Amino acid sequence: MHKLLNDSPGEKIMLLGNEAIARGAIEAGVAFATTYPGTPSSEISLNLFQMSQESDLYFEYSTNEKVALEVAAAAANSGLRTFCMMKHVGVNVAADPLMTLAYVGVTGGMVILSADDPAMFSSQNEQDNRYYAKFGGFPMLEPSSVAEAKEMIKEAFELSEALGQPVLLRTTTRINHSNAFVTLGNIQKPHTKGRFIRDPYRCVTVPNVSRGLHVKLLEKLEKAGQLAESSKFNFVQGKGKFGIITNGVSFHYAEDAVKDLGMEDQTRILRIGFSNPLPEHLIKSFLAECDKVLVIEEGEPFMEEAVKAFGQEASIVIPIKGKSKELFSRLFEYDPAMVRKNIAQYFGIAYTPAPGMDTSDVPEIAMRPPNLCSGCSHRATFYEIKRAAKEMEMDIICPTDIGCYTLGFLPPLNMGDFVICMGSSVSTACGFGQATDQKVVSFIGDSTFFHSGITGLVNAVFNRHNFTLVILENDITAMTGHQPHPGVDMNRFGLDTYGRVNIETLVRALGVEHVSIVKPFKVQKSIEVIKEALAFKGVSVIISQEPCILFAKSIKLKTARPFMVSDKCTDHKDCINGIACPSFYIEDGRVKIDADTCVGCALCAQICPENAIRPLKK
Amino acid sequence: METTRLVIVAVGGQGNLLASKVLGEAALISGVPVRMSEIHGMAQRGGVVESAIVFGDATSSIISDGEADILLGFEPAETLRAIKRCSKKTMVITNTATLPPFTVGIGKGAYPEVAEIKRLLAAKTAGLVAFDAMKLAREAGSPMSVNIVLLGALIQTGALGFTKENVVEAIRRRTKSSFLEKNLVAFELGIEAAKTR
């Protein structure tokens, strides 16, 4: 049995934040869940996917976040408790349905989780998605701890049903990827079959209907505001004239700091967990008790600006600060020492931060950047494109996309010149091809192609753009931890209830005139095929087919047969300088291959001018 | 309850996250509050994996620079790289078996001498326990047990106040049964190593 289906309420176990959230959804009787994977949210969906195979829960990996939200919106409007989760930038993809779903509302409880990533541990930006709650009109909850996250998602379903409105649950990486003790609660049995009751004057958003719906949305928000006033997630801790208003993980940094600074008797903390609409009266009465207030929130001054406005309305003239050059930044994440220092400084508490470690005599240590894995097929494809372009004396530029292969931008491959979001490799290739005379070769992974590359390719065919698109088909969503996508053979997971979309058939059907397939570990043949595609005027697509090596190893599709460098090596170092596989190392000036990590892809063996790289004899 | 802050640094694949989970479980068994935070976005791709574990009454789950009470390093250069997490009061435990980054392997960066790493760690902190944990893991029967060897050394220092029995129980609960015997040997070897250093 999956550990999160353990039906022994009261038991205390250690869970990752994302596991706690998945468990909370199960305890709430969630019936329907959709997602597109994205760090830091991915383990929530992974656990729900696993649990759906041994429970009544319906779970799907949708093609992208917009699709996930629309599928979920229908389930929630059929009366089911529905959970849709994604990373923060995924909400941008889902923003179109999101903004109008706010008008339509739901009949079953619906929770939309946005996993924000302050400091960008694994994201292309650190946007603060609290604004989506305000922008669209959603009640929003924000946990401060792992245990609270589990309780909050249960309340979020209740709140959603009370208001007929989806609720936004907003987490940050330090919640998703923290571990803590969690006490298991009762598992509520889900209602798994819904019924859609026709209600066109609520559900068909033609202008005349929507005008009425916007009025209703504001009424719902007013009701939500009243609920926020008395929510247990908004509470005051301590008494004193120094006021701190805070949310999320910052609450605990502030709580620890107040204790460490010995100012507990002077300080009151307002922790905001129900943060849209903000509890106006609660905040005004809090301000009335304080001489001075500090707002501590990572990201944008979402609360700070509102708190200042409330103070003005209530004619409360006290200093209220948050973001400033001297205090808190809008950049990156906070930490306990920084919060302690700023609290001490703002409230004038004596505090001398510990002297920083003197590292002036610490020698430079080589960086350990993430790298494409040993035996990664992307490395081979990048190398071959580079060689083909060089042999054709073509100066290429390479828009790329979001996935492991983004790492191809690092030396020595240097394959990656522009990336902004999922799917952008294809559409920006259209633009670069049109705006310049440069040859454009763009890269996209298979999962990302399904997510949002297809529409760009349709655009390219219609507008007769000029570029080569390389689709890196490795049979899995690799970067986020091997989730399926529509091109995956689900029998490999032992699941026989899925369909499958063939990328080559799809690309040909879109009207792409030049389509070729390469097997990237056949180097010379691939280079010949690539050259033809590069020479083609118009849109050409190369599909590079080879399973992700980590995935292939995990399902025993491949077993490693390592290679070694023989005495024939005359030290050209083409292998190291050209492909820089992490299995290479230099010992006494000679190139060696680490047999523990080499998987035997034979890429290096094929490019060695002396044919010096050979399979290791057992 | 006193707060103890432990930072663990490792290279992706060394079993840092499992070691953290064992410590979390040991805390649960011992009735000690704990919060842990981990950064593992690109771990599988050879990057650095860092865990912060806060035992005791503090409610934060991350550790600021200069505020680690203990630094446990699974790889010597990574231990040294994490020196900014330490202060004069920090106790450091490190594996001395190196895993040079591939950038070094291909001649594109320097790897400090292990003796120099040890000298710097000892000079800048309250104390250093340094030994070849990889050798001991191999002795225990599996290089994969390097994390458990280092846990043994950590427990032997007494810095966490956990009994050996509770940690052994945590290892039983949290590690694969097929590895249990080797892990228990590895744990003992780690304890012995810390006694003699």
pLDDT digits (tens, 9 = 90+) for A415-432: 999 999 999 999 999 999
Per-residue pLDDT at B41: 55
Q: Give the C-alpha separation, A378 to A609, whole Å.
A: 22
Residues of chain B in contact with residue A577, where contact means CB-CB under 8 angstroms, are 106
Residues of A with Cβ-Cβ distance to B46 under 8 angstroms = 368-371, 373, 582
Determine the pLDDT at residue B44: 60
Interchain contact, B24 vs A582, CB within 8 Å: no
Q: Judge: A586–B107 Cβ closer than 8 Å, yes or no.
A: yes
- Cβ distance B110 to A404 less than 8 Å, yes or no, reads no
How sure is the predictor about A559, in pLDDT bands with cuts at 50, 70 and 90?
A: confident
Task: Please check whether residue A489 is in contact with residue A475, taking contact to mean a CB–CB distance below 8 angstroms.
Answer: yes
Return the minimum-mean-pLDDT range out of A299-303, A452-456, A593-597, B110-114.
A593-597
**Per-residue pLDDT, B47:** 83
Residue A538 pLDDT > 70: yes
Test A335 with B101 for CB contact under 8 angstroms: no
Beta strands in A267-355 (DSSP E): 267-272, 274-276, 292-296, 320-321
Name B130's bridge partners: B94
Contact A580/B at CB under 8 A: yes
Question: DSSP H helical segments within chain B, as ranges?
Answer: 16-30, 76-81, 102-105, 114-124, 133-140, 146-156, 164-174, 180-196
Amino acid at A313: E
Type of residue at A609: P
Which tops the pLDDT comparison, A217 or B39? A217
Length of chain B: 197
Q: What is the mean pLDDT of chain A?
A: 96
How high is the mean pLDDT of chain B?
Answer: 93
Comparing alpha-carbon positions, the chain A residue that sits nearest to B85 is A357
Mean pLDDT on A127-153: 98
**Contact B106/A252, CB-based, under 8 Å?**
no
Q: Is the previous residue joined to A412 through a cis bond, with omega within 30 degrees of 0?
A: yes
Residue type, A166: P
The answer to ipTM > 0.90 is yes
DSSP 8-state symbol, A420? -
Scanning A77-136 for CB atoms below 8 A from B yields 121-122
Q: Which long-range contacts (CB under 8 A, 24 or more apart) does B133-138 make?
A: B133/B74, B133/B95, B133/B96, B133/B97, B133/B190, B133/B193, B134/B95, B134/B97, B135/B97, B136/B186, B136/B189, B136/B190, B136/B193, B137/B186, B137/B189
- Nearest chain A Cα distance for residue B55, angstroms: 11
Residue B181, min C-alpha distance to chain A (Å): 23
Q: Can you say whether the dihedral through the CA atoms of B163, B166, B171, B174 is positive or negative? A: negative
Among the partner-chain residues A181, A580, A582, the one whose CB lies closest to the CB of B28 is A181
Is the CB of residue A93 less than 8 Å from the CB of residue A453? no
Closest-CA residue to A594 (of B19, B94, B46): B46
pLDDT confidence band for A304 (50 / 70 / 90): very high
| Token code pair at residue A285 | 């009465």
Total beta-carbon pairs less than 8 A apart between chain A and chain B: 160
Over residues B111-122, mean pLDDT: 97
Rounded CA gap, B110 and B107, in Å? Answer: 8
* Cα dihedral A562, A567, A568, A573 sign: positive
Q: Is A293 helix (H, G, I), strand (E, B) or coil?
A: strand
Q: What are phi and psi of A128, to 5 degrees?
A: -100, 105
Place of tokens 């009109």: A137
Residues 385 through 424 of chain A touching chain B, CB cutoff 8 Å: 404, 407
Order of strands, sheet of A167-172, starting from the edge strand that comes earlier in the sequence: A58-61, A32-35, A82-87, A110-116, A167-172, A140-141, A274-276
pLDDT at position B40? 65
Highest mean pLDDT among A367-376, A429-438, A486-495, B96-105: A429-438
Three-state DSSP at A321 gives strand
Q: What is the mean pLDDT of residues A165-194?
A: 97
Neighbours of B59 (CB within 10 A): 21
Taking an 8 Å cut-off on Cβ atoms, the answer to whether B103 and A369 are in contact is: yes
Q: Cα–Cα distance between A449 and A317 in angstroms, integer? A: 55
Q: Find the CB nearest A369 among B47, B111, B116.
A: B47
- Over residues A455-478, the mean pLDDT reads 97
Q: How far is Cα A180 from Cα A144, in angstroms, rounded to an integer? A: 12
CB-closest option in B33, B45, B81 to A371: B45
Cβ contact (<8 Å) for A366 and B40? no
Residues B61-116 have pLDDT tens digits of 999 999 999 999 999 999 999 999 999 999 999 999 999 888 887 677 899 999 99
Distance CA B36, CA B174 (A): 16
Sheet holding A234-237, edge to edge: A234-237, A267-272, A242-247, A292-296, A320-321
Q: What pLDDT is stored for residue A587 in this prediction? A: 84
Residue A411: strand, helix, or coil: coil
Is residue A401 scored above 90 in pLDDT?
yes
pLDDT of B42 strictly over 70: no
Dump the DSSP string for A466-486. Answer: -EEEEEEE-SSBTTTTSB--T
In the predicted structure, residue A579 carries a pLDDT above the cut 80: yes
Residues of chain A positioned with their CB less than 8 A from the CB of B118: none
- The rounded distance, in Å, linking the Cα atoms of B28 and A525 is 58
Q: Name residues whose C-beta falls within 8 Å of residue A148's C-beta, 6 or more positions apart in sequence.
A: A273
A366 to B120: CB separation less than 8 angstroms, yes or no: no
The mean pLDDT of A289-295, rounded to a whole number, is 98
Q: Are A373 and B77 inside 8 Å of each other by CB? A: no
pLDDT band, residue A402 (cuts 50/70/90): very high
Give chain A's domains with CATH numbers.
3-230 (3.40.50.970), 234-347 (3.40.50.920), 377-554 (3.40.50.970), 563-615 (3.30.70.20)
Amino acid at A278: L
Angstrom distance (rounded) from CA A48 to CA A32: 10
Tell me the residue length of chain A. Answer: 618
Report the distance separating Cα A300 and Cα A307, nearest Å. 13
Closest by CA to B21, choosing from A133, A181, A227, A61, is A181
B4-196 carries CATH number 3.40.920.10:
yes
Return the percentage of chain A with pLDDT > 70, whole number.
100
Asked if A174's CB is within 8 angstroms of B61's CB, the reply is yes
- How would you classify the pairing of strands A178-183 and A12-16? antiparallel
In terms of CA atoms, which chain B residue is nearest residue A364? B110
Q: Is the CB of residue B6 less than 8 Å from the CB of residue B70?
A: yes
Tally of CB atoms within 10 A around A541: 27
Q: If you compute the radius of gyration of chain A from its CA atoms, what whole number of angstroms results?
A: 27
Residue A457, SS3 per DSSP = helix
Average of pLDDT values for A574-582? 91
**pLDDT score of A235 more than 80:** yes
Residues 422-481 of A with CB under 8 A from B: none
Q: Of A487, A489, A474, which is closest to residue A373 (Cα–Cα)? A: A474
C-alpha distances in angstroms, A555 versus A186, A545, A551, A552, A558? 35, 17, 6, 5, 8
Q: Does A178 touch chain B (CB under 8 A)?
A: yes
Task: Give A99-166 as a DSSP string.
Answer: HHHHHH--SS-EEEEEEE-TT-SSSS----THHHHHHHT--EE--SSHHHHHHHHHHHHHHHHHHTS-
CA-to-CA dists, residue A86 to A111, A142, A161, angstroms: 11, 15, 21
HEC string for A484-545: CCCCCCHHHHCCCCCCCCCHHHHHHHCCCCEEEEECCCCHHHHHHHHHHHHHCCCEEEEEEE
Query: Contact A362/B80, CB-based, under 8 Å?
Result: yes
pLDDT on residue A336: 97
The predicted structure's pLDDT at residue B43: 56
Which residues, 6+ apart, have CB-to-CB distance to A264 below 8 Å? A238, A240, A258
Report how far residue A403's alpha carbon sits from residue A423's, in angstroms, rounded to the nearest whole number: 11
A544/A517 Cα distance (integer angstroms): 6
φ, ψ at A541 (rounded to 5°): -120, 130
Stated pTM of the model: 0.97
A354 touches chain B (CB under 8 A): yes
What does the alpha-carbon distance between residue B117 and residue A557 come to, in Å, rounded to a whole number? 41
| Residue B103 contacts residue A586 (beta carbons within 8 Å) | no
Residue B197, pLDDT above cutoff 80: no
CB of A196 less than 8 A from some CB of B? no
Which of A11, A362, A584, A599 to mutate: most B Cβ within 10 Å? A362
Cis peptide before B112 (omega within 30 of 0): no
- Which DSSP category does A7 fall into? -
In whole angstroms, how far apart are CA A606 and each of A213, A292, A585?
65, 70, 18
Q: Smallest Cβ distance to B37: which of A174, A256, A371?
A: A174
